[in-house]
Amino acid sequence: MAIATMGVVVLDCPDPQALAGFYARVLGGEVTSDEDGSALRQGDRVLLAFQHSRGYVAPEWPRADRSQQLHLDLELPREELDAAHEQVVGWGAKLLDDGGGDRSWRVFADPAGHPFCLCGVRS
């Protein structure tokens, strides 16, 4: 029997409002902020939360000594992957891995350095 339910994934970062704005562009939703940080909401649901971290050091992918610790898999129709790639890079993401010969996924770092994948799924 579970003793808890999932609340929200919280990302440490140097600028919570800016990072929340990046993910709002990627996933949609509304950014709210208070003294504790920022959140990305869709309706009543909080998708992600962002908190300021003094001395934040971004993870590096793939490196064991500065590991990613977690990453987000964001799904979209496979035929939209190229366009989404261009959009997230335009919003400040950095391409880390283009998936090699596999055209169904790509790894990026968000503007604060957190890795995330755009995963193309068959529609």
Q: Where in the chain is the domain with CATH 3.30.720?
A: 1-56
Pairing of strands 94-97, 105-109: antiparallel
- The CATH 3.10.180.10 portion of the chain extends over 58-123
Helix (H, G, I), strand (E, B) or coil at 7: coil
CATH ID of 1-56, from 3.40.50, 3.30.2030, 3.30.720, 3.30.420: 3.30.720
Residue 4: pLDDT band by 50, 70, 90 thresholds?
low
Average pLDDT for 36-61: 92
pTM for the whole structure: 0.82
**Residue 93 burial (10 A CB sphere; 0-12, 13-18, 19+):** buried
Taking residue 23's Cβ as centre, other Cβ atoms within 10 Å add up to 24
Summarize pLDDT for 63-92 with one digit per residue, the tens.
778 776 777 889 999 999 999 999 999 999
Give the sign of the dihedral formed by CA 56, CA 62, CA 7, CA 93: positive
Q: Radius of gyration over alpha carbons of the chain, in Å?
A: 15
More confidently predicted of 85 and 6: 85
CATH 3.60.150.10 fits 58-123, yes or no: no
Q: Are 60 and 69 in contact (CB under 8 A)?
A: no
Q: Percent of the chain having pLDDT more than 90? A: 58
